[in-house]
């Protein structure tokens, strides 16, 4: 089945700096890659996703890049703000896994003032 690895597990940045979180996946047939943000004690919420026919997608301060050849994708947050502090999860899915999402282990992002 699919295996998703996520790094780093914790990340501290100064307010205004950029943050990058990286994930790798194992199944070359995977074709959908979402990123979820989870604040403490709350539900995960989708912040951005990308499909395998696209190399990059942006939404204001958030961007995701996908390298299908290397089987890795990354989340980029620019001009970080304190409210960006949360746990971020990547995930992957595709027909090889019955279209079920396989999640990474999460990255605790802390934006310091």
Partner 1 sequence: DGGITQSPKYLFRKEGQNVTLSCEQNLNHDAMYWYRQDPGQGLRLIYYSQIVNDFQKGDIAEGYSVSREKKESFPLTVTSAQKNPTAFYLCASSISIASNEQFFGPGTRLTVL
List residues near partner 1 by CB under 8 A. 1, 6, 9, 32, 34, 36, 41-46, 49, 89, 93, 98-106
C-alpha neighbours within 13 Å on the C-beta side of residue 110: 6
Q: Are 30 and 93 in contact (CB under 8 A)?
A: yes
Distance of closest approach, residue 84 Cβ to partner 1, in angstroms:
19
DSSP classification of residue 79: S
Specify the pairing of strand 45-51 against strand 32-38: antiparallel
Nearer to partner 1, 78 or 105 (CB): 105
Q: How far is the CB of 93 from partner 1 (least distance, A)?
A: 6
Q: What is the closest distance, in whole angstroms, from the C-beta atom of residue 8 to partner 1 in the complex?
A: 12
């Amino acid at each position: 089945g699919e295996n998703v690895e996520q790094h780093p597990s914790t990340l501290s940045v100064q307010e205004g700096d950029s943050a990058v979180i990286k994930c790798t996946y194992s199944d070359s047939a995977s074709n959908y890659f979402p990123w979820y943000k989870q604040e403490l004690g709350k539900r995960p919420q989708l912040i951005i996703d990308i499909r395998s026919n696209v190399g990059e997608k942006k939404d204001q301060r958030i961007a995701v890049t996908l390298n299908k050849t290397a089987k890795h994708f990354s989340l980029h947050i620019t001009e970080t703000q304190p409210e960006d502090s949360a746990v971020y999860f990547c995930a992957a899915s595709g027909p090889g896994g019955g279209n079920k999402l396989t999640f990474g282990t999460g990255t605790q992002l802390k934006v310091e003032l």
